[in-house]
Each structure stands twice: as C-alpha cells, then as structure tokens.
Chain A
Amino acid sequence: MKKKVYFSAAFLTLLIAAVPASAATLGGKIAFEGRPPAIEKVKTDADPKCKMAHPDGLASDQVIVNPNGTLKNVFVYVKSGLEGKAFEAPKEPVVFDQKGCQYSPKVFGIQVNQPLEIVNSDDTLHNVHSLPTQSQAFNLGMPIKGMKLKKTFTKPEVMVKIKCEVHPWMSAWAGVLDHPFFGVSNEEGQFEIKNLPPGQYVIEAWHEKYGSQTQSVTVTDKDAETAFTFKAA
C-alpha cells in the first residue's frame, strides 16, 4: 500500500515535470448582446415543499444575464491542443447540491473519474438523472434531507445533462473532461482557466441556450485574456 503511494507520488512528480514549470491563467469575460429574454417563472405547485421555498414562484435559471451585461453559466474549456497529455483526476469531489428545489451549480466542469458528490439539502424527494451518452447514466432518488451520494463519469463528454424527474424545472449541465482546464462564467461574467501551459489551443464556450463558440488562442507563460460574445436570439 505504501509502495503504491510512493509510486503514484513519483508518477505525479513526473507529470509535473512534464508540464513546463511556467503556466499561465487564461481569463476572460462572456459578453451578452441584445435584449435578455424575459425571466420565466416556473410553477412549483406540485411540490408544496418547493412552493414553500419560493412563495413568489421560481425564476427559470436557463438564461441568467448579469447586471453588467454579461452571461452567467457559460462553460469555457480547452477543446483541443492538449492531445497526448494525461492528467490525474483530483481526489476532492465536485459538490453538486439540490437546494431550494434547484441544482447548484447549474453548470460545472468535472474531470473524468473525479468524484461527484451529490447532496440533497431539501426536505423533499429529489432526483438526479444524468443523461450522458458516453458514460454510464445514473438516476438517483434522494428522499432524505442531507443525504449524500457519490458518482463519477468515466468518459469525457461536453455537456452531460442532469435533470430531475420529479421537478421538471430542475436541470443542470456537467462538462466532463479529461483535463483540468475549464471554467464557468460567474455573476460578473468572468471565467478563469488556471495553470494552462504555453501552447496553441482551441477554446470553446458553451451555453445551454445560445450554443457554443470556439476561439484559437496562443498561451505564453504570461496570463492572458480572451472574450466571447453571445447574442440574443
């Protein structure tokens, strides 16, 4: 057992050695042009617990345009340029919560074989049904508040839909990748891809409603900025 640890540590060292010491952060902004769509309210009547959590109705989280005119929940990742390199899956899980009858995060990235910790923080029956085409699908019923389950994806796939069969409005998207170079735009419309080794890359930005866009970028050992713009339909 100890030996194994030793070896994998050595392997990791090797890996790190293989990646040039100089690595940059690729940051950027997701701009949104045009009129943001009207915010839809979803009916939560069927589940009293959900209705209780959102007495005024729940806003659809499909499109969220930030106050500063940027788009939230855009998944940005390195699409190509990393071929032939292998990256160890991190041990620490991505936490995927169900709170207030909504998934959180709505959009997230995860590495292949990285654990996904699914949490139910509501006192109602929730359900996490993943719909990947490459990996094994799972469909979990989570009736108890606070219960946690762990799952992984075994093959890269952008994007995997996750939905709830009990609450039709609930859906989330996971970008499954075999490398750690991805980010999701936040409330400021900012995203960040860290520790990107210098090289030529194709970067793709994906949004649930507005589709995807790609860009070629060259990364040196200095931090770089890039930007995507999505237009209202």
Chain B
Amino acid sequence: MLESFKNFLNSVSSPVTIFTSAVLVFALFVTFPRQATSKPAGLAVLLLVLVFFGIGLTDEHFRTIVSTPDNVPIVGLIFLFGYFTWYAMRKAVINDRRIEKGEPTVEQAETNEKVLVFPYLIFIEFVVALAYAVMLVLWSIFLKAPLEEPANPTVSPNPSKAPWYFLGLQEMLVYFDPWIAGVLLPTFIILGLCAIPYLDRDPAGSGYYSFKGRKPVIIVYLFGFWILWILLILTGTFLRGPNWNFFGPFEVWDVHKVVPLVNVNLSELIFIKWLGVGLPKLWFLREAPGILTVLAYLVIPPAILAKTVFKNVFKKLGAVRYSILVMLLLVMVALPIKMYLRWAFNLKYLVAIPEFFFNI
C-alpha cells in the first residue's frame, strides 16, 4: 500500500509535473487568497505536508537525503516560508477586508500611538534573540557539521552540488547555458530586486500588509520567489541525483541511470525536421530563425503590451522605466517558457553558436 503510493509518486514526478502543479497551486493561492489563508486551509496544508514527510521519513532513501546535514535547513525553510507566506497573506486579506469596509488597516489603527522602545521593543527583541540562540545551540548539538573526505581534485563526487542556496541557479543550468543561468539571470535577479522600489511607485500599501491593492506586484514577486527560486532549490536539492538526472522523491539515486538525451536545437528543428534541408553552413544563416525569435520576443511583446494590458503602466512609468520593467519581466518569464519548450519539443537551444559560446 505504502510502497505502491511511493511508487506512484515516483512515477508521476518529473520536472514538468512538479513545476506545473506548483504553478497551479500558486494560481489557486493568489486567486482565492481569502479561502487559502483561512485557518482550516492552512492547517490542512500543514497536515498534508507533515503527512508527506511522515511517510517520506519511513523511506530510507528519502530519509538519507532529507537528513543530510546541509539539507536540513531547506526542510526548515519549507515550513518557515510556507507559514510566513500564509501568515502575511492572511494579514493582507484582513487588511483588505478592512479597507473594503472603509476602516483603517490594523497598522493604520495604531499608527499614531507610540510605545517606548524600552521595554516593549527591547524585550521582544531579547526574548526572540534568546529563543533564537537556544534554537541554534540545540541545532548545533543535535546535528553535526558535515566533514567528508579531504578535498581531492581528481575525484569528483557525483552529483557535485553547489551550496543549497545556489541550487536554484544550478537547476537553471538544465535549461540554459552557464552564461545565462549562472551569470545573466543572477545579475537580473539582483538588479530586478534593486529596481522594485523604482518600478512599483504606487504609494498605497506602504507599511502594512495588503494584497488587493498590490496584486500584480505581489503575484510577480511571489511567483519569482516561490516558483523560480525556492521550487528550483527544492528540485535541485532533493530530486536531482547523479549526473543531475531527475529522481522521484523515493527513488534510489542510481549512478548508472541512463536517460535519453535527444534534445535538438531550433535550427535543427526548422531546417532538418520541418524544411527537410540540411543545416546551412554559415552560422548566422543557420541561427537566423533563432535570433529572430529571440529578438521578436524582446521587442514585440513590449510594444503590444504597452498598447494593451500595460497601457496605464506605460503611461505611469514612462518609456525608459517601462522598458526596464518589461525587460525584467520578459527575462523572468523566459525561464518557464524555455522549460516548457524543452519539455514539449525537446528544444535544446533557440540560438546555438558554440563557436562563440553563445547559446540561448
């Protein structure tokens, strides 16, 4: 019974199912925030996750991976961020309701009252800091820091993984070349984060939890954080085994697992499969469709959007900021687009110019 359940989970899990279902769950969460942040819903999800872990821990392989010292924080992170997302959303929903009713938000209600830092804030800080210290000490007592064999440049462990907080990037490497996944995307993430205050200029929602008034901003942020960052980290940590092959949560990491690598480039798709002619010899001819596609992706949607959905935004931000905003959004969306292209068409590169290490 349990085994067949685990086998079922293993067989249905794949990057595409996990990613898609996460996106669906996310959509549900932001579409029905009120229901999602109700206590029963929260408890139900908590219970579900606990049951999953409970079952999982009976599995030797799952237990090994989850209890690897450096993976423990990620398990904690799931619960912590799950809870705080739920909690923040809950507060936002409460405030939204108050705003609807014309009442001030919880924070606004108290906005003119000031309390003495000593003792009220200081005490909270101290109690929390002490509790935090206790947590750290207990963590240190019960979990030994890992120490493997001495470094050996001639023997690489399989899989070799980056520290867990960079595993999202390592997971992106499946879909993009290092120069994008390892350099371009992180740069865009940092720049994008820095740009948030300059792109979201709506003064509403400052200093209190709210959702309704900031829906697009929060959805984009949460999508980026949960789906494109945390989910990828979880996949990279728990579901990627030797040779960076995908493994179900209860699947043993077999070094010898072989999966077919039948990815093709866009140029091959077009010239060989669809047109039935050979690949052009010149790289710019060969890659012309890909380059055009990428350029079109970067140019056409902003123009269309500026006229339609983002009309107001365009007006509010002006051309420069609008371009930056759209560019950031496009790069962000490029990741799931590339993922789905890969899953649907085995597409390897849109543009493949290995001569210049320039592959997209």
Q: Verify whether A and B have any Cβ pair under 8 Å.
A: no
Partner-B contacts on A (CB < 8 A)? none
